[in-house]
A and B are shown apart, each in its own frame.
Chain A
Amino acid sequence: MFDIVSFIPRAIMQGIPLLFGCTGETISEKSGSLNLGIPGVMYVGGICGVIGAFLYEQSAGGNVNGFLAVLIPLLACLIGSLLMGLLFSLLTITLRVNQNVVGLAMTTFGVGVGNFFGGSLIKLTGSDVPSIALSATSKYFSKGLPFGGSGAFSKMFLSYGFLAYVAVIIAFVTAYILKRTRVGLQLRAVGENPATADAAGINITKYKYLATCIGCMVAGLGGLYYVMDYASGVWSNDAFGDRGWLAIALVIFTLWRPNIAVFASFLFGGLYILYLFIPTGGDMAVKELYKMLPYLVTIIVLIFTGMRNKRENQPPESLGLPYFREDR
């Protein structure tokens, strides 16, 4: 029997990092910045949170304050991913370096930074296993809503750590801002046609910088959620896997709409762990085949998006292109 009550929470928890990454990348892409550094940014967001939590746990000793235990890793994560965003913006917006190159370099860089500090921390703790556990801090991150009970409904909808709800709220708020507000209209104009936006008196550089940096910070939270809540505070190098790339694929799948991303990320999360819930007996080979599902779906989705012709569903027109006003 398929256990839906335990499947849904696992799917959602699997989907939340993707949702953060996808919303962040959407914000960035709407301004015309194709940030392929998102996997690296999420990685850096994660490790910065870990460093913050580690330092706090070390200094606090036994008595960990819940408020600080959340605030410090959160700030560390936001600052880390902001720095990544600033680096990407500086290179691509101010210096007009090719976005693909910078993005790919940043992913490599971010993963390297993460593994370097991760490895160092693991050495510092002198643990036997190649991982570092921050269970004291993680406890506060994964605490469910206070009014949740133990029924099936509570289990499926009220049992998540606060960051999961933050992810959904950010996604819906972003969708609203993009569609309904002046700022959203102007941001979309910047990504579609910067020359037009410029002629309309919109500060292109400001919008691009802000969108890219905010996007990176949102994506960075995905890394933080992954370590602190999903992985219960256990950091081991490379455990984050290819979630960053899935998040970027998700942006295309959701047609640059964060409100769709909420459901799409849960769907992807479900596909990611489906193999655990389908009885395959002892046949490991079949399990491996099920593990392919998210990637298979990504490829199928890309094929379908390639076939679509409606103009509204296309990527922002100047996505990936630098803008320089006096370019002739």
Chain B
Amino acid sequence: MGSNTPAVSMRNITKTFGTIVANDDVSLDIYKGEILSLLGENGSGKTTLMNMLSGIYFPDSGQISINGQPVTIASPREAFDHGIGMIHQHFKLVDVFTAAENIVLGLKEEGRLDLTRAGERIRKICDTYGFDVDPKQKIYNMSVSQKQTVEIVKVLYRGADILILDEPTAVLTPQETDKLFAVLRNMKKDGKTVVIITHKLHEVEAISDRVVVLRKGRYIGEMKTSETNAQEMTNMMVGREVALNIDRPAPVDPRPRIRVENLTVRSSDNVLKLDDVTFTAKAGEILGIAGISGCGQKELLEAIAGLQPVQSGSIRYINDDGTEENLVGKDPLKIADMGVSLSFVPEDRLGMGLVGSMDLTDNMMLRSFRSGKGIFTDRKTPRKLAEKVVEELEVNTPGVSTPVRRLSGGNVQKVLVGREIAASPTVLLSAYAVRGLDINSSYTIYELLNQQKKEGVAVVYVGEDLDVLLELCDRILVLCSGRVSGIVDGASADKNQVGMMMTRLGGGASDE
């Protein structure tokens, strides 16, 4: 931050997509050797703005200057020439290539393609900043965090001085996040400039020197991180006062609703996904499930919903009168009729639950199409439901006849969760309901979950953000490679302890 000329300076940038204004007259400076946070809700134009810096999009109007010189960045290659490299939220890696192949992809080096030499250079970069990458490993064999490392190395390999990271921590465990931040600090020491796009306030506070806030495509303001606080940043981001606490009403009369005993599940290629899992989900409480990705959360929810064949163990549904029914081996339709509702938000958001090219009404019908009379479907009820969901959850859509694919991620999730809740379930299984959502939408979803809890629904919440799990859930079941690492009390558990339990069985002490 020593010099006075900004390394990058963006002036009056405007970008529109059709009728949507993604960025409106945004001006922004980035100084050499600093870590800058770009903060904003979903759809506030953070990514679009940075995409223009990395050559993916081209601004409609405005001027970008690098080290004081006006430049045009028409393509990603030109961005590299200016030393700008971006690590996208959805990794830009070719799955069937090795790390080295991905890293050299698109480079115009002299001579033949020499992957051995490239491998040596990659190792050198890794040693400098403390990464761990095997140049010969295929991408599809890598964990999310390894893939991200490859992305960062790729950018450094091209000699980038300015790194832009788009929500880098969205997919990482707390431990992996710490490791990433350590690497970013190393880079800063090395004189590199880092821009990190995020909507997580504690990360802004943990890593950045300066923070710039965008809202609805407009520049709102900037400040030194040391001189601001979470409340102020949130208010700027949302545009009004927002309470930052998640409600956790005390469970009213919790009764056991689902009892899972010794559940063991193997995937189709015979990999052990769940191993001897036992727990109880109670009506009127939120049971959180924590674990790193791929540790069996998905299989667990699917087993309860009847979508996943069970090898051994039992899943019992306990009726209000105390009678029990085994869900194992039951048809998913029957289980759904009993009031078990699954809303699973996969990474691509549309994969399960919603059909992207169908409109809101039709997507509502996916649940109710059987209830029509005769051979004709009933379109009126789902249409009303769609309108209700749009209104109550403040879904931002041109209308209920818009294909779901056209909505932004947060709105898609609201539609999905709204539909599942409308089925008035007795058990609500929700996975990653707030994945990629901004603060405002996330709180709407938490509010919805809490409402269900108050109405006596047994809510099972699989989440990625430990802070949220700890604030929202009454109890947290921690999974570690398919086994129960422990069940902790949401109010008294400690974040580090849960983090340890996620990576190591037992981790620390467990209660219950």
Partner-B contacts on A (CB < 8 A): 180-182, 185-186, 188-189, 192-193, 195-202, 309, 311-312, 314, 317, 325-326, 328
Residues of chain B within 8 A (CB-CB) of A328 are 17
Q: Contact between A202 and B106 (Cβ–Cβ < 8 Å)?
A: yes
Bound-complex Cα distance A206 to B104 (A): 19
Contact check, B105 vs A186: say whether CB atoms are below 8 A apart.
yes
Q: Which residues of B contact A198 (CB under 8 A)?
A: 56, 76
Contact B106 A312 (CB under 8 A): no
A201 lies within 8 A of B76 (CB): yes
Q: In whole Å, how far is B409's beta carbon from the nearest beta carbon of chain A?
A: 11
Other-chain contact of B92, A181, A196, A325 (Cβ < 8 Å)? A196
Does B80 interact with chain A (Cβ within 8 Å)? Answer: yes
Kindly report which residue of chain A lies nearest to residue B75, judged by CB atoms: A201
Taking the complex as formed, is B373 at the interface, i.e. its CB lies under 8 A from any CB of chain A?
no
Structural contact, A311 and B106, CB atoms closer than 8 A: no
Given the complex of chains A and B, what is the CA–CA distance between A303 and B92 in angstroms?
32
**A-B pairs with lowest CB-CB distance, top 5:** A200-B106, A201-B77, A196-B92, A199-B92, A201-B106
B106 touching A192, Cβ below 8 Å: no
Contact with A along B95-129 (1 / 0, CB 8 A): 11100011011110100110000000000000000
Which residues of chain B are within 8 angstroms of A311 by Cβ–Cβ distance?
A: 95-96, 138, 140
Considering the chains assembled together, what is the distance between the CA atoms of A180 and B88 in angstroms?
A: 28
In the complex, B443 has a CB within 8 A of chain A: no
The answer to whether B244 has its CB under 8 Å from any CB of chain A is no
Residues of B within 8 A of A201 (CB): 75-77, 80, 106
Q: How far is the CA of A199 from the CA of B54 in the complex (A)?
A: 9
- Does B57 interact with chain A (Cβ within 8 Å)? yes
User: A312 CA to B140 CA in the complex, in Å?
Assistant: 10
B93 interface residue (CB < 8 Å to A): yes
Given contacts A195-B92, A196-B94, A325-B56, contact A185 B113 (CB under 8 A): yes
Q: Are A326 and B57 in contact (CB under 8 A)?
A: yes
- Selected A-B contacts with CB under 8 Å, 28 pairs: A181-B112, A181-B113, A182-B104, A182-B109, A185-B97, A185-B101, A185-B105, A189-B94, A189-B97, A193-B92, A193-B94, A196-B105, A197-B94, A199-B76, A199-B88, A200-B92, A200-B107, A201-B75, A201-B77, A201-B80, A201-B106, A202-B106, A311-B140, A312-B96, A314-B96, A317-B95, A326-B17, A326-B57
A312: nearest chain-B partner, CB-CB? B96
Q: If the complex has contacts A196-B93, A199-B88, are A186 and B106 also in contact, measured as CB distance less than 8 A? A: yes
Smallest Cβ distance from A29 to chain B, in angstroms?
14
Q: Is the CB of B113 within 8 A of A197?
A: no
A200 to B108 alpha-carbon distance, docked (Å)? 11
CB distance from A305 to the nearest CB of B (A): 16
B105 interface neighbour in A197, A317, A325, A326, Cβ under 8 Å: A197
User: CA A328 – CA B19 in complex, angstroms?
Assistant: 13
Instruction: State in angstroms the CA–CA spacing of A58 and B75 once bound together.
Output: 53
Instruction: Determine whether the beta carbon of B94 is less than 8 Å from that of A188.
Output: yes
B188 to chain A, nearest CB (A): 24
CA distance A192 to B102 in the complex (A): 12
Please give the distance in Å from B120's CB to the nearest CB on chain A: 18
CB distance A192 to B96 under 8 Å? yes
Min Cβ gap A165→B in Å is 26
Tell me the minimal C-beta distance from B6 to chain A in angstroms: 25
Interface centre among A196, A202, A314 (most CB of B within 10 A): A196
Q: A202–B96 contact, CB under 8 A? A: no
Residues of A within 8 A of B138 (CB): 311
A201-B77, A311-B140 known; A189-B112 Cβ under 8 A: no
Within 8 A of A (CB), among B29-85: 54, 56-57, 75-77, 80
Q: Which residues of B are found within 8 Å of A314, using beta-carbon distances? A: 96
- Inside 8 A of B101's CB, which chain A residues have their CB? 185
**CB of B87, distance to nearest CB on chain A (Å):** 10
CB-CB under 8 A from B94, the residues of chain A are 188-189, 192-193, 196-197
Q: How far is the CA of A311 from the CA of B102 in the complex (A)?
A: 16
Which residues of B have CB within 8 Å of A312?
96
| B105 pairs with A189, CB closer than 8 A | yes
Q: Given the complex, which residues of B lie within 8 Å of A200, measured CB to CB? A: 76, 92, 105-107
Q: Which residue of A lies closest to B139 (CB)?
A: A311
Q: A198-B56, A198-B76 are in contact. List 10 more A-B contacts (CB 8 A).
A: A180-B113, A182-B104, A189-B97, A199-B56, A199-B86, A199-B88, A199-B92, A309-B269, A311-B138, A326-B57
Chain B positions within 8 Å of A188 at CB level:
94, 97
Q: CB-nearest residue of chain A relative to B154?
A: A200
- Residues 260-275 of B contacting A (Cβ, < 8 Å): 269
Whose C-beta in chain B lies nearest to the C-beta of A316?
Answer: B96
* Most chain B Cβ neighbours within 10 Å, of A195, A201, A309, A314: A201
The docked-state distance in angstroms from the alpha carbon of A314 to that of B140 is 13
Query: Is B113 within 8 A of A193, CB to CB?
Result: no
Task: Give the distance to chain B from A39, nearest Cβ to Cβ, in Å.
Answer: 28
